Amino acid sequence: MYGVDEEKEELNQLLTLNSQKLEIMKEKSKKAKDKKEQKKLEKDILALEGDNKRITENKNGLDTFLKSIGGIITTEECKILVLQKHNDLVQGELLKYLNAEKRKLIAGIEKLWGKYAIPSHLLEIKRQDSLKKLNKFLTQLNYLN
């Protein structure tokens, strides 16, 4: 935030404009011939005074608001914030890319797993069958007794 001077100036202009309208309405109220017209003017005067009160409160609250957000930032702080924002954006995009690549890799591994996964007991049974066949051939060739 660059400061509250511009906002204060706008609110001061509004207060000045409302004060002028208020003076005009008060004079009209004094000169009013009809009770109905006078009541309407008094109602409008009260509304303007309420607006002025709210505007004044807003104007007084601007400094408090500026202090609550940490005041006016320096050029160096601004550079740091811009670099942090840029860093966050780049990291976000890199994470999206990395997560997409992870998903592709996991999908490929799951596909291979589904295609080639064999329980260990089946492998053991096949090994035993192969061993029996080998022993049978070796026995027929008289390598085993």
Taking only the tens place, the pLDDT of each residue in 58-111 is 888 887 887 888 777 888 988 999 999 999 999 999 999 999 999 999 999 999
Q: What's the burial of 41, exposed, middle or buried (CB within 10 Å: 0-12/13-18/19+)?
A: buried
Show the domain range for 24: 1-72
Structurally, the chain folds into a number of domains equal to: 1
C-beta atoms surrounding 45 within 10 Å: 16
Q: Is position 145 within any domain?
A: no
pLDDT at residue 7 above 70?
yes
Instruction: Indicate yes or no: pTM above 0.85.
Output: no
Q: Is position 12 within any domain?
A: yes
Q: Which positions ≥6 away from 96 have C-beta within 8 Å?
A: none
